[in-house]
Amino acid sequence: MKVRDVAEAAGCSIGSVYNEFGDFDGLILTVNRETVQALTERLKAVPADDPLRQLHGLADAYLGFATEHANLLRSLFEHRMEDDRPFPEDILAMVMDAFALMHAPLVRLLPDRDPGDVAVLSRMMFSAVHGIISLGLEERMVAVPPEQLRERLAQFVDTHLAGLGVTRSA
């Protein structure tokens, strides 16, 4: 993304882009905010009736979003602020909220576990899913073949849940 391209696409001058977004970081962060919102919206649309199905749905929804908007997700996770400025708190909070969406179904599946523990478990599980997807979707690094990704991801979730003591029939 280039400031000049944005200006041309918006039909205004370069200066107006700066009036609107402040600087390049501001431009990127505006895009990233929309990305998190769109992602969250998509994740929240996953049915919450059955917790196990919900977990699979969340992983699958994340995979779908990552497939369709690979570059947006990269911008969200890989962008570094200029001049070591701190990353905006609101975006951090939104991302953490999105990653915490696995918490509710996990609590239902693991009612006896310490809630604080489940909170970490859910974010860790989402981080793992994120890692599998982000590396799996890289054209270059085929850690997991893309055509298998959907199936393998479901397998991963099942395996991990089994390790946590969740029986498949629950």
Partner DNA sequence: GATTCTTCTTGAACAATGTTCATTTTCGTA
Partner DNA sequence: TACGAAAATGAACATTGTTCAAGAAGAATC
Positions in the binding site for DNA (CB under 7 A): 1-4, 12-16, 18-20, 23-25, 82
Contacts of 156 (CB under 8 A, 6+ apart): 59, 128, 129, 132
Minimal distance, residue 13 CB to a second copy, in Å: 28
Tell me, what amino acid is at 165? G
**Among 72, 47, 92, residue whose Cα is nearest residue 134:** 72
By C-beta, is 1 or 135 nearer to DNA?
Answer: 1
By C-beta, is 3 or 144 nearer to DNA?
Answer: 3
Contacted entry of a second copy, DNA, none for residue 38, CB cut-off 5 to 8 Å set by kind:
none
Contact 146, 158 (CB under 8 A): no
| Residue 87 interacting with a second copy (CB under 8 A) | yes
Tell me, what amino acid is at 170? A
Contacted entry of DNA, a second copy, none for residue 170, CB cut-off 5 to 8 Å set by kind:
none
Contact 35, 75 (CB under 8 A): yes
Candidate segments 15-23, 32-40, 101-109, 118-126, binder of a second copy by CB under 8 A: 118-126
